[in-house]
Amino acid sequence: MIRAFIAVNLAPLIGEEIAKVQAALKDAQGDIRWTRIEGMHLTLKFLGDIAQAQVEPILTALGNALSNQPSFHVQAHGLGAFPNLRRPKVLWAGLHGDGLAELQEKVESALVSLDFPREDRGFTPHLTLGRVRSLRGWGQVLAVVRKHEHLQFGESVIDHVTMYQSTLRPDGAVYSPLGIVPL
């Protein structure tokens, strides 16, 4: 079985800018497991464990669904937390741009026919900076979040989606591309 998901990658400049803020957040010494910058992406659909034989049908369905989807620009800006800053579980940078919700909906719709259920939660485009393990040190982290909560990280063109395999390791997940679908 393969643990898989569908995602888009952003321009390296965005990762570089986020890394600067992530360093300041790390200095605040909160109890947070940080996401590696090189693995940062926008997840459009988490597939879970799939068989190797499902990879090609998934890529074909995505290719058909996205054949008329034009490329578009997104902006990365702002910091926040899920579910909120008082009870944080995930610290994130926001993504904004016309086309994101439409792209995610097309991915969802394409995969329903392959028996992947629709996501119950609404789509909130974001990049996960870290996962909060406990509130120890959160006050200091929150002060850094407030200082940078409206910061601009840059702009990126979205011109393809990638299907990834996620291999869980003690030092964090490693993502390997299984296929790319151009827009």
What single string gives the DSSP state of each residue in 15-79?
A: HHHHHHHHHHHHHTT-SEEEPPGGG--EEEEEEEEE-GGGHHHHHHHHHHHTTTPPPEEEEEEEE
pTM of the model: 0.92
pLDDT at 86: 95
Copy the structure tokens of residue 167: 């291999």
Pairing mode, if any, of strands 152-158 and 72-82? antiparallel
pLDDT at 159: 97
62 near 6, Cβ under 8 Å? yes
83 cis-preceded (ω within 30 degrees of 0):
yes
Residue 40 has pLDDT above 80, yes or no: yes
Of the chain, the percentage scoring pLDDT greater than 90 comes to 93
Copy the structure tokens of residue 158: 């979205």
Angle in degrees, CA 105, 101, 166, rounded to 5: 70
How does pLDDT run across 106-134, given as a tens digit for each residue?
999 999 999 999 998 889 999 999 999 99
How does pLDDT run across 136-180, given as a tens digit for each residue?
999 999 999 999 999 999 999 999 999 999 998 887 788 999 999
How does pLDDT run across 22-34, given as a tens digit for each residue?
999 999 999 999 9
Return the CATH superfamily for domain 2-182. Cyclic phosphodiesterase (3.90.1140.10)
129 near 18, Cβ under 8 Å? yes
**Mean of the per-residue pLDDT values of the chain:** 95
